[in-house]
Amino acid sequence: MLSLESFAEEREKERERERGFFSLFRHSQRANLLIKHQGSSIFAGGIFLVLMGWAATGMIVEAYGFWLLFAGFFPTVLGFLRRAPVLGPLLDNPGVKRALNKVAPAQSLPM
């Protein structure tokens, strides 16, 4: 039978493990938020460059910002397009498939 002191010690160890898990979660959320801010800033900077007359450079900067913002969503979109009746066979061509697998591997869908 557990004494009150051993129960308290076990509970304290459990709380330390929970703190470690939640701190890991908080840090991953901060990193994700930093990437989103970075992507938004770069995209806005690209728009500014386009408005200032540097159209080609601004569009390249915008594309990079767009990539930073939505890179996590691309595997889901490509997975959907691979299953579409018309686009699926086109995306299964060897050259196209090799290029798309570098961007979003075929097995990266959550389900």
Taking the model in full, what pTM does it have? 0.57
DSSP secondary structure letter of residue 84: S
Any idea where the domains of the chain sit in the sequence? Answer: 7-70, 72-111
CA gap 99, 80 in Å, rounded: 17
pLDDT at 106: 62
pLDDT over 70 (residue 71): yes
> Cα 49 vs. chain centroid, distance in angstroms?
26
Angle, helices 55-70 vs 4-51, to 10°: value is 160
Q: What is the pLDDT of residues 4-31, one digit of tens each?
A: 777 777 777 777 776 666 666 666 666 6
Neighbour-count burial for 49-78, b at 16+ CB within 10 Å, e otherwise: bbeeeeeeebeebbeebeebbeeeeebeeb
Task: Decide if 60 contacts 45 (C-beta within 8 A).
Answer: no
* DSSP annotation of 3: -
